[in-house]
Structure 1
């Protein structure tokens, strides 16, 4: 008897015209046009300088990254080397990044708060030979280098005894600029490491072509223009920050105001002082903008839009944020490190070129809760959760699979892990659960592995977390599945109380949720905590909460 045939794939395609693949090194794709058209415009401002006098123009950025490329080549950096960039956000970060790629190196970006042991693992796995760091982090970098034993030299961005300085030594050198032949489709530009929320961190090989093309794909939906002022507070070492806060604005001639970390007062003060027009943030910052009383103390009237990505954002929280700031609805975008990273975005608006106009004109409001439409040159399937070889029915939830020119080259040194993620037809199985409506809007529910299975029913932690955040006495929350005495997986919430609500109890929290959800989605347990563990991107680290449960058990 013949086996039943598998139906043809149900492929969703972008409604936007395809974009040409960008076969340029990333430093050229980002800097060449902006430098040529307005070299005297300010590219980067140090947001920690109260005077606002510490900045770099596009012309200076071009000269400095070329000088650094020459000095790195003179120091011994060769094509194919890996340089570890271990630093918080600063206006020197792009100088180092583009200088290293122009010298032919791949840059592995490192979390500035990692331990020496974590750093050493990344150095060893990436085969890095060079480190650029800052003096406050130097001891960690030294210890990591000692643990791996294969580092040629550690440079510092500022000053430190016994180490050459990027500013004081390498940027004042007079070496010839290297002529490095880069193959954009094969050569690695950046080697970020996945957050580890679903496994061991792996080096994600992103080529010059994949990240440069993704910038071109993003532009029709989220266009940046000269004159914009973007506040960079999300970390550059994360692919979201590297793309949305560095590569995209510098490619477009915008000005980037740089902060080394998120401090609410400093963040709000920078918006006011520098007349920031656009914010690219993660849901925790949207939460602060929507609910924190300090927001009312600052003039945020320069803001024109807010974009949130890196984790699901509840539509009610988004609406509260936009209403408070008197802005159009918060836009969302979707992607993952392995996709360079963007695949979807809610269109921001059309550029209005008329004299004296605002930077953008309205293009209509998005459907609440959506992460957007497919970017140009991108395809998607929604795969059945019970049978990944088949597509879900229209409107049904399933695993999101993506194909396009932004797909990574693979995981460094891990062909099996690469094959497990990218199938033979080139589809990336994201591990995210989503659905598409009749108009092509994508809604992301949660991670496949994060779904709670309560007596056969699927419960999405993100839905419950979003609901909990509507409670005025709750500052933050996370939900995971735990097992009761009968072996059933049940939802448990970890809740951070607002400072003004120290008496909030578990029964009140569970009752609040029970009144608003189907019976199978009710919380069965609540624990109050001081903070919710999150990755630098803002994603909740539910694995840490699950490990905590195991340790306590």
Structure 2
């Protein structure tokens, strides 16, 4: 049974993301605040922001970049991130966003796989960025630093240098088909395996912004932007959606609870986009009571499962705040479900309703039979499959993984087990996919397992997620020692920590006699979770 959205379909403009967001700006909108730098207080109007975007586009064009080229953007949140991101998209360049916590080897892997010609970063991330760039064969001149005046950035072009190169030059006349031309290439493990490049077109991004109108974001909203723009959630739902409705974004480079609360209070933040660990802090941390958060009218949680009790706890702590939940994955640009702002009858534990223009199936993973949406009550559980204009083209250079994720009829496997009720509200009740979500970040078990078994004192290993109230899940390694080895849990954790980004670290270790596997060699993770 195909389940259809309760919303009417919406029109999706056939424009590039740049034209969609900025071509229709009115004189009044140009004077509105687009960005506030949460660390300095500096404000940027829409007029100033678009001028900076155009100047960056001209500068990157002067460096020889154009449609189809790939540029890696490796930076925490700042107004300059938005300038570079949209300047590159204006040129038809494909932007692959790199996690700000990635180490040199991880940066190199993404640069190589994506075919990036240039890496844009910030001075604090230069050690990992330059190590990755060198390993991927990029020259020092191919690394651009957003703030070139900072210590440690010597020898690299700055964004100011790039803009200077394009100063006075006309913007290139770029033409491409938004329906097929790639815009961004974030990396995701999907339902299983190592990170893969998710190919998203301009139409994918435009569609998901239009589809998310149900969130009720308004021009008078002030949005504290702490969720990273390099993550598809921050990219679409914070950066692009806020710009589309002409709201103001207050950027923060990382999550620090006291700083976050101060920004909300000082700038009168109205709409919070969070992951569950931030929601938990808002519900329970004593610091919250020290700040005036009365301006907050809504909080949307995504990126990881959100407990109904936690939703009620946040609502109790922030009177007048509407607590909502959404659902998605990078492969869907990313949102497929959300709780409409006005639907107070939907539990905060539900992931909400299918977005406009979307359809879904719920399939019994054991039999492949499609599960029917009931006329009353709640359906039986099954794997969620989704189709719509926001679904990716596929995985870069991996036809096998693409075919295993997207069915011939266009339905994408999510790997999550859901139920649906008669009114069209969905709940996530389990997960087929192996991916671990640590504080909203994706931790692919296969990547850690490959690292572990490369250790001379480890014969075999499997990694699973263990529920944790604060983090969502903790990566736990189940390790088989090599013959004669006496390696300790602390040594295992230190070994992994030295080779991965901080969020990917193994947090728990259990030594086992053997890793349970199927006849086909697939790790039986459910047995390890018992």
Does the TM-score normalized on the shorter chain lie above 0.5?
yes
TM-score normalised over the length of structure 2? 0.81
Q: How far apart are residue 439 of structure 1 and its match?
A: 1.1
Match of 2:144 in 1: 155
Match of 1:21 in 2: 12
Q: How far apart are residue 174 of structure 1 and its match?
A: 2.3
Higher alpha-carbon deviation: 160-169 or 397-406: 160-169
Deviation string, structure 1 residues 30-61 (Cα, Å, up to 9, x no partner): 22234555111110000011xx2x12110111
CA distance in structure 2 between the aligned counterparts of 1:477 and 1:157, rounded to whole angstroms: 33
Deviation string, structure 1 residues 218-255 (Cα, Å, up to 9, x no partner): 11x11222111001000000000001110000011100
CA distance in structure 2 between the aligned counterparts of 1:385 and 1:38, rounded to whole angstroms: 49
Match of 1:455 in 2: none
1:34–1:252 CA contact under 8 A, matched in 2:
no
Q: Are the structure 2 counterparts of residues 150 and 156 from structure 1 closer, same or farther at C-alpha, using a change threshold of 3 Å?
A: closer
1:189–1:207 CA contact under 8 A, matched in 2:
yes
Residue in structure 2 matching 1:228, options 216, 221, 230? 221
Q: Are the structure 2 counterparts of residues 128 and 551 from structure 1 closer, same or farther at C-alpha, using a change threshold of 3 Å?
A: farther
Match of 1:203 in 2: 197
Residue in structure 2 matching 1:427, options 411, 427, 446? 411
Whether 1:31 and 2:27 are equivalent positions in the alignment is: no
Q: Are the structure 2 counterparts of residues 203 and 35 from structure 1 closer, same or farther at C-alpha, using a change threshold of 3 Å?
A: farther
1:383–1:392 CA contact under 8 A, matched in 2:
no
Q: How far apart are residue 368 of structure 1 and its match?
A: 4.2
CA distance in structure 2 between the aligned counterparts of 1:393 and 1:223, rounded to whole angstroms: 27
Q: How far apart are residue 277 of structure 1 and its match?
A: 0.4
Match of 1:508 in 2: none
Match of 1:549 in 2: 510
Written as runs of structure 1 = structure 2, the 5 A alignment for 1:291-302 is: 291-302=284-295
Q: How far apart are residue 196 of structure 1 and its match?
A: 7.0
Match of 2:95 in 1: 107
TM-score normalised over the length of structure 1? 0.78
Tell me the SS of whatever aligns to 1:38: helix
2:475–2:506 CA contact under 8 A, matched in 1:
no
Match of 1:117 in 2: 105
CA RMSD of aligned residues (A): 2.9
Unaligned residue ranges in structure 1 (runs of 5+)? 1-9, 350-362, 452-460, 470-474, 484-528
Count of aligned pairs between the two proteins? 460
Large movers: runs of 4+ above 4 Å: 479-483, 543-546, 550-553
1:277–1:304 CA contact under 8 A, matched in 2:
yes
Whether 1:214 and 2:208 are equivalent positions in the alignment is: yes
Deviation string, structure 1 residues 58-105 (Cα, Å, up to 9, x no partner): 011111111111111111102110000011111111100010011220
Match of 1:280 in 2: 273
Whether 1:324 and 2:317 are equivalent positions in the alignment is: yes
Match of 2:39 in 1: 48
Q: How far apart are residue 478 of structure 1 and its match?
A: 3.8
Match of 2:335 in 1: 342
CA distance in structure 1 between the aligned counterparts of 2:289 and 2:154, rounded to whole angstroms: 45
CA distance in structure 2 between the aligned counterparts of 1:149 and 1:479, rounded to whole angstroms: 35
Match of 1:185 in 2: 179
CA distance in structure 2 between the aligned counterparts of 1:98 and 1:339, rounded to whole angstroms: 20
Whether 1:383 and 2:376 are equivalent positions in the alignment is: no
Match of 1:442 in 2: 426
CA distance in structure 1 between the aligned counterparts of 2:164 and 2:240, rounded to whole angstroms: 22
CA distance in structure 2 between the aligned counterparts of 1:88 and 1:234, rounded to whole angstroms: 9
Match of 1:488 in 2: none
Q: How far apart are residue 139 of structure 1 and its match?
A: 2.5
Deviation string, structure 1 residues 236-284 (Cα, Å, up to 9, x no partner): 0000000111000001110000000000000000000000000000000
2:33–2:45 CA contact under 8 A, matched in 1:
yes
